[in-house]
């Protein structure tokens, strides 16, 4: 049972344009969501997070939007840069008792110069 | 501040052997979690330790075990290795109790032949 889903395995965007990565979840107990960026043979790098009490969180070029009623979150990268090319994972947590993260399957972002 | 470190970075073992992987969290972080990444299953939670106690465990067989020491360093052990245990094993540490972003190490690439 995939509780966190990233339905787009890959996304290609032109440099300078907006990248939008999407994530859906099924477990209504999730109350904390995170986005990670990962290069091959490296560990995931934390990008941005959002608590379920908010619907938007912004950090520089990265903005995460949360739509609780639709159980959907998205990561916007503006403007996209070639160095943003990587696999992006969304993750969710039921933060009440543990730091266990449930990860989506990832979206490979390619930013074309 | 130094990041999460994992040793060794690469390991080749034979079926039936056992292996121990080590993780040193970021200084001051008390929560350490372990994840397995494989191409087919993505990133899957193994277990989490907080103040030397296992706080949560994922859906893995008993061959996978771990522990945490008083200095928050953690080890995971896999006994009776199987070919399917070949994966990238990632350790993550977290600064506080729950619901907070985790910071990943570079991982240990385990190959079982």
**DSSP secondary structure code for residue B85 in this structure:** G
d(CA A35, CA A32): 11
| CB spacing of B42 vs A103 below 8 angstroms | yes
B99/A102 CB distance under 8 A: no
Average confidence (pLDDT) over B25-38: 93
Q: What's residue A40's pLDDT?
A: 84
Residues in chain A predicted with pLDDT less than 50, given as ranges, are: none
The radius of gyration computed from the CA coordinates of chain B, to the nearest angstrom, equals 13
CB contact at 8 A, B49 and B66: yes
Residues of chain B in contact with residue A43, where contact means CB-CB under 8 angstroms, are 4, 90, 92, 104-107
Q: Is B31 on the interface with A (CB under 8 A)?
A: yes
pLDDT band at B26 (very low <50, low <70, confident <90, very high): very high
B32 CB near a chain A CB, below 8 Å? no
**Residue B81 confidence (pLDDT):** 98
- Average pLDDT for chain B: 92
User: H or E element: which one contains B27?
Assistant: none
* pLDDT score of B102: 87
Query: pLDDT band at B39, cuts 50/70/90?
Result: confident
| Residue that wins the pLDDT comparison between B67 and A96 | B67
């Amino acid at each position: 049972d995939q509780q966190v889903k990233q339905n787009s395995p890959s996304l290609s965007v032109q440099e300078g344009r907006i990248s939008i990565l999407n994530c859906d979840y099924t477990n209504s107990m999730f109350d904390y969501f995170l986005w990670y960026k990962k290069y091959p043979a490296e560990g995931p790098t934390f990008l941005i997070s959002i608590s379920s009490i908010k619907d938007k969180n912004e950090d520089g070029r990265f903005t995460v939007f949360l739509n609780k009623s639709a159980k959907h979150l998205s990561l916007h990268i503006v403007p996209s840069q070639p160095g943003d090319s990587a696999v992006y994972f969304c993750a969710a947590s039921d933060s009440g008792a543990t730091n266990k993260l449930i990860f989506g399957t990832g979206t490979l972002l390619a930013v074309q110069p | 501040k130094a990041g999460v470190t994992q040793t060794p970075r690469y390991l080749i073992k034979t079926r039936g052997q056992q292996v121990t992987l080590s993780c040193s969290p970021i200084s001051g972080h008390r929560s350490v979690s372990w994840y397995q990444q494989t191409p087919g299953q993505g990133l899957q939670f193994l277990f989490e330790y907080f103040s030397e106690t296992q706080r949560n465990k994922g859906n893995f067989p008993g061959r996978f075990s771990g522990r945490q020491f008083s200095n928050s360093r953690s080890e995971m052990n896999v006994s009776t290795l199987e070919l399917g245990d070949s994966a990238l094993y990632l350790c993550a540490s977290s600064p506080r109790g729950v619901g907070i972003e985790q910071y990943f190490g570079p991982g240990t690439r385990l190959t079982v032949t």
